[in-house]
Structure 1
Amino acid sequence: MTYNSTKEFAQSLDQADELARFRESFTIPKHVDGTESIYLCGNSLGVQPKKAVEYVADELNDWAQLGVKGHFDKTFPWTRYHEFLTDSMAEVVGAKPHEVVVMNTLTPNLHFMMVSFYKPSGKRRKIVMEADAFPSDTYAVDSQIKWHGGNPAEDIILWQPRPGSSTLMMEDLETIFKNHGDEIALVMIASINYYTGQFFDLKKITELGHSHGAMVGFDCAHGAGNVDLKLHDSGADFAVWCTYKYMNSGPGSIAGCFVHERHADNDQINRFAGWWGHNKEERFLMKPKFDPIYGAEGWQQSNAPILSMAPIRASMELFMEAGFDNLLAKSKQLTNYLEYLIHNIEGDRIKIITPKDPKDRGCQLSLAVKDADKSLFETISDKGVIADWREPDVIRVAPVPLYNSYMDCWNFVQILAAAL
């Protein structure tokens, strides 16, 4: 598409957008003047689906009216509540339903997966990560290595950008494996780097890791609901993600987990077991020997947090109604349009460090601010923009296709240009 930077053009794109109606299904936070904020922070916390209020209220009411009987005697019984999210979640992350389970929160899921898939032995004990991984991933990997008696300073190999670049090159990861392939036990990389917004080729990374005998897992916190992950086709051994970003489940809410089907009934895999992962037919027979459910559900520990799951059910219904392929198509166009507008800002204080090729990114654009001291971010925030600042010098913005408009992008760039 050929873009132009007029307000009328942005309005025409919104008028032609068949997904524009979904914005009305969300509550957009208000600015101090009572108008809707320009909310471009879905990469950090998605906005609230209006039906989330209704669905949480339903569960509170059932709790009040039914008590313990709500586990069984209702339309969405609590013992099966996570199952009502499985099919839609599997579709969004590109997996088979038995490869996906909604459970726990993100970093606990990462730990549970590393219990099963990080198996250091002999000289094969190193973990490969991207150099600027999200801190929680780094803390988790550090602690797992220490738990196994290793030294993080020696047992972590960092995939680093080249001098003068922000993004990572596949050739450099190949070099790491060429030099250390027989020492690497696990590849643990984000699907999308939280800082730069770079979307990695999960299939190529997995094939590379497996060809050298390593297990491969991904933190998809910034990818799930944002890009076409194709987790099953990637061949990854496992993946984890949160749902409060692009899937709009609410602050600190429930997370998701993928385990490839080749591990679905492998009884040789260690795991931290709990009764919700036990054979459903015998769960309430209280048998002492653990019999895991086939697939990802077998990694569950405890019964589901229903009040956290209700909002994600509301959001996933909207994903299915809109169609994930349609959302991906709008995301690409919306992000391309925002990129075009930003490039038309005069001066050199803003540089987009997110890859230019749409196949190498989702809807997040990371804007490096020259001579940054956060004042620019504070200025645009005062004008009604809700974005995200990451030290030392990046403003992250994410035009989310479910609820953001082309006018959101246009208004943001007018505010940013004026502030500059």
Structure 2
Amino acid sequence: MTSFEPTPDFAAQLDAQDPLREFRHQFHIPPGPDGQDSVYMCGNSLGVQPRTARAAVERQFTNWEQLAVEGHFLGDTPWMNFHERLTDATARIVGARPVEVVVMNNLTTNLHLLLVSFYRPTIARYKVLMEGGAFPSDQYALETQVRMHGLSPDDAIVELVPRPGEHTLRTEDILAKIEELGGTLATVIMGGINYYTGQVYDMAAITAAGHAVGAKVGFDLAHAAGNIPLQLHDWDVDFACWCTYKYLNSGPGGVAGAFVHERFADQPELLRLAGWWGHDEKVRFKMQKGFRPMRGAAGWQLSNSAILTMAVHEAALAVHEAAGGMAALRRKSEQLTAYLEFLITRLNLPKTQLEIITPTDPAQRGCQLSLLVHHNGRDLFEHLAAAGIIGDWREPNVIRLAPVPLYNSFRDVQRVGVVLAEWAESN
């Protein structure tokens, strides 16, 4: 473990040693109140814009302008198969085989599509397990999926909550609840990382436990994809979905991704909501009755690709790949987050004033620390904003700060420490 110091010189030294330091210049960093670069620590909500994004979209505008409908089949990036250009990089990010992933739609749409296939309740096996306080989109999706089967959410949905006085879930409690539900459990669907606390769940252990009782297991990876190393195939996860506009920097409301394990690749009989683009591409344009899905995750596609958003995503993926992928990013991420933790804990504030509710174990967190501010939390958030530090406020009293390895520096983190120290001295 690095022995940290709170000084600008020390942060500059870490930056000089950082092999990823130049990647910051491949992004537009929003200006702060003084006109200089802000300290942008809100990548867990929306990533910053890659400098190559505009040209990537302009390229497709030119194709549209010059080819119109023929752009589906002609030009340098035919739209007909554009989603395939994203497959290999996507598979590497989530630890999958290419047949297991597809880029399409947005996150909640993909979650609904996957739940149609992987939440198939019976009279005996109908319960679904999720973490309490999951992001509202997941809560609402599960509520409506349960109701579509004529069930009551109050009965069918089981929520996991931390032990009294704790902020995060213990893995042993998750596994114990899965075993307790046993043959009544149809599906486990959890976030790979809890958006509020920043806790990383043990997805391998949860998947194994779910399968042991006969349940399907899936994850919402909105806060995990591009943030932590994932091995969805090796963990034997059944299904997963994620957005790309957070740690993958693919633009507001950008296209999303989906994973379906290879063991389902050749099960055309598996119930799903069918769409034209998910139909066998060899006969797609014959316009015949009888849905015959593409092999693998591509068989869950509905409509033709959203080319402009996919173009941005392709540009963002290229930066991610050039940085060396998740292994290189994770090394820097752990150090950045540890440095931020050091600067906060050295303030020696009582837990009745401020506490970090994200796990201290690096294996149980990504590049996010959630600060629970018990008094005047909004004042602290506004103090940070006035100093050019862009974080995220979550009701009722949590500030989320995410030092992202692609574009945040150690000097950024050190600046946050200075502003927090100023606040602590005045409170």
Q: What TM-score do you get using the length of structure 2 for normalisation? A: 0.97
Rounded Cα–Cα distance in structure 2 between residues aligned with 1:89 and 1:179: 35
Could you tell me which of 329, 332, 348 is aligned with 2:331?
329
User: 1:236-278 CA deviation, whole Å, 9 max, x = no partner?
Assistant: 1100000000000111110000000000111231000111111
Map 1:13-412 onto structure 2 (within 5 A).
13-324=14-325, 325-348=327-350, 349-412=353-416
> 1:316 Cα deviation (Å)?
0.5
> 1:163 Cα deviation (Å)?
0.4
Rounded Cα–Cα distance in structure 1 between residues aligned with 2:291 and 2:8: 62
> 1:344 Cα deviation (Å)?
1.1
After superposing the two structures, state which structure 1 stretch, 266-275 or 209-218, moved more.
266-275
Aligned partners of 2:377 and 2:398 also within 8 Å = no
Rounded Cα–Cα distance in structure 2 between residues aligned with 1:275 and 1:82: 15
Residue 419 of structure 2 aligns to a residue in which SS? helix
Structure 2 portions without partners, runs of 5+? none
Letter in 2 for 1:274: G
Percent identity between the two aligned chains: 51
Rounded Cα–Cα distance in structure 2 between residues aligned with 1:60 and 1:152: 45
Rounded Cα–Cα distance in structure 1 between residues aligned with 2:33 and 2:396: 28
Rounded Cα–Cα distance in structure 2 between residues aligned with 1:372 and 1:140: 34
Letter in 2 for 1:340: F
Aligned partners of 2:385 and 2:391 also within 8 Å = yes
Rounded Cα–Cα distance in structure 1 between residues aligned with 2:383 and 2:341: 21
Instruction: Tell me which stretches of 4 or more aligned residues in structure 1 moved more than 4 Å.
Output: none
Residue 149 of structure 1 aligns to a residue in which SS? coil
Letter in 2 for 1:359: A
> 1:179 Cα deviation (Å)?
2.4
> 1:79 Cα deviation (Å)?
0.8
> 1:373 Cα deviation (Å)?
4.4
> 1:123 Cα deviation (Å)?
1.9
Aligned partners of 2:33 and 2:387 also within 8 Å = no
Letter in 1 for 2:198: G
User: 1:214-246 CA deviation, whole Å, 9 max, x = no partner?
Assistant: 110100000000001111111111000000000
Rounded Cα–Cα distance in structure 2 between residues aligned with 1:188 and 1:346: 38
Match of 2:422 in 1: 418
Letter in 1 for 2:331: A
Rounded Cα–Cα distance in structure 2 between residues aligned with 1:327 and 1:258: 22
> 1:379 Cα deviation (Å)?
1.5
User: 1:355-408 CA deviation, whole Å, 9 max, x = no partner?
Assistant: 111111110111111224411111211211110011111100111110000000
Residue 200 of structure 2 aligns to a residue in which SS? coil
Structure 1 portions without partners, runs of 5+? none
Aligned-pair Cα RMSD in Å: 1.0
> 1:199 Cα deviation (Å)?
0.4
Rounded Cα–Cα distance in structure 1 between residues aligned with 2:212 and 2:299: 27
User: 1:182-217 CA deviation, whole Å, 9 max, x = no partner?
Assistant: 111000100000000000111100000010011101
Letter in 2 for 1:333: Q
Rounded Cα–Cα distance in structure 2 between residues aligned with 1:373 and 1:49: 32
Rounded Cα–Cα distance in structure 2 between residues aligned with 1:372 and 1:99: 47
Letter in 2 for 1:329: R
Aligned partners of 2:179 and 2:209 also within 8 Å = no
Rounded Cα–Cα distance in structure 2 between residues aligned with 1:323 and 1:334: 17
Letter in 2 for 1:105: N
Letter in 2 for 1:165: E
> 1:80 Cα deviation (Å)?
1.1
> 1:290 Cα deviation (Å)?
1.2
Rounded Cα–Cα distance in structure 2 between residues aligned with 1:178 and 1:85: 38
Rounded Cα–Cα distance in structure 1 between residues aligned with 2:356 and 2:218: 28
Letter in 2 for 1:156: I
User: 1:38-89 CA deviation, whole Å, 9 max, x = no partner?
Assistant: 1000000000001000001111111111111111111111111111111001
Match of 1:6 in 2: 7
Residue 283 of structure 2 aligns to a residue in which SS? helix
Rounded Cα–Cα distance in structure 1 between residues aligned with 2:397 and 2:274: 43
Rounded Cα–Cα distance in structure 2 between residues aligned with 1:210 and 1:161: 23
Rounded Cα–Cα distance in structure 1 between residues aligned with 2:179 and 2:139: 23
Give the total of aligned pairs. Answer: 420
> 1:419 Cα deviation (Å)?
2.2
